[in-house]
Amino acid sequence: MIHNIDIKKTAIDTLLLEAHALEGLVQHIDTDFEKVIQSILELDGRVIVTGIGKSAIIAQKIVATFNSTGTPAIFMHAADAIHGDLGIIQKNDLIIAISKSGNTPEIKVLVPFLKQTGNILVAMVGNLSSFLAQQADYILNTTVDREACPNNLAPTTSTTAQLAMGDALAVCLQTCRQFSDRDFAKYHPGGALGKQLYLKVSDLSDNNGKPAIDTDASVREVIITITNFRLGATAVLSDNKIIGVITDGDIRRMLEKHEDLSNLTAKDIMSQNPKTIEKSVLAVDALHKMRENNITQLLVTNEGQYDGIIHIQDLLKEGII
């Protein structure tokens, strides 16, 4: 309690109020919404999203979501538009103007210029009798009963509604285009999500060495090999075929069991039937296999032949984990 304010209750009331507002949007998904989706799907140009104040921030997020899910989009600030940025708009573009009231001075100045371009104008608006709503070709109704702000002033519930309506547009477009996870990866090549969808085991293991020893290698040779390659393990080969693996853990267990190491060889201390993975599969599959088996490295194969090691640190460096 601070100054007799129940913080937990205030937070819960805010979330419930905004959740109720989002439920109310369901009844506003109408034929105009469907026509907007169809218009965007038929576009030869881009979606230009504009707004002022907090609505401008929401517009930027919607643009980012559109671009990452296959719908080319550009943000245009409503205040900057009338000072030169109108040049962004091309003849085949569609414009979405976001405003709660639809009557802000900037919107009233901007809309006539937008109408002159002949582009489709979509109003995402919370006031259906507003100037913006009356001028628009289609309306996305984001009307809310009240703001979560105790003074019913600060944009809170209204911007949440705008954001959700933008997500509804993006997901519908993504679904209509059958935008797959592979498509998603093309737009996120540097992010963790994208890497999970395109980065292969070979992209990582090829950067490592290929530690390998024969079955009759001495303990000293085993330790030196593991140390030199710094991958925490080495493959044990016989006639160039994998028959085992020796890890740091195997070395420690060997030292606990044996005092005399002079007669021990790799075959005596290796783990048989090691876990392997083909170099052509996705790196994220290597992560899943490591987690399933509670291990930190896998022997990599190329059409069944030993081709190196992938370590969990490789995945960490790439942000896969």
Return the structure tokens found at 220: 């000293």
Same domain, 43 and 116: yes
Q: How confident is the model over 72-124, as pLDDT tens digits? A: 999 999 999 878 788 899 999 999 999 999 999 999 999 999 988 899 999 99
Same domain, 88 and 215: no
Instruction: Give the neighbor-by-neighbor strand order of the sheet with 271-272.
Output: 212-214, 233-238, 241-247, 271-272
Same domain, 24 and 173: yes
- 188: pLDDT strictly greater than 70: no
Tell me if 28 is assigned to a ligand binding site. no
Same domain, 151 and 202: no
- Report d(CA 293, CA 34) in Å as an integer: 48
Domain boundary among 119, 148, 179: 179
Same domain, 122 and 230: no
Same domain, 73 and 127: yes
Q: How confident is the model over 199-258, as pLDDT tens digits? A: 899 999 999 999 999 999 999 999 999 999 999 999 999 988 999 999 999 999 999 998
Contacts of 260 (CB under 8 A, 6+ apart): none
Looking at the domain assignment, is residue 301 inside a domain? yes
Query: What pTM did the predictor assign?
Result: 0.68
Mean pLDDT of the chain: 92
Same domain, 87 and 55: yes
Same domain, 169 and 287: no
- Report d(CA 155, CA 99) in Å as an integer: 11
Here the CATH number for the domain that contains residue 54 is: 3.40.50.10490
- Report d(CA 88, CA 74) in Å as an integer: 8
pLDDT band for position 68 (50/70/90)? confident
What's the number of domains the chain is made of?
2
- Report d(CA 294, CA 284) in Å as an integer: 15
Looking at the domain assignment, is residue 188 inside a domain? no
Return the structure tokens found at 230: 């710094």
- Report d(CA 235, CA 244) in Å as an integer: 6
Question: Which residue segment(s) compose the domain that 249 sits in?
Answer: 198-317
CA dihedral 170, 185, 312, 206 (to 10 degrees): 180
Here the CATH number for the domain that contains residue 216 is: 3.10.580.10
Q: Which of 64, 26, 58 is nearest to 162 (CA)?
A: 58
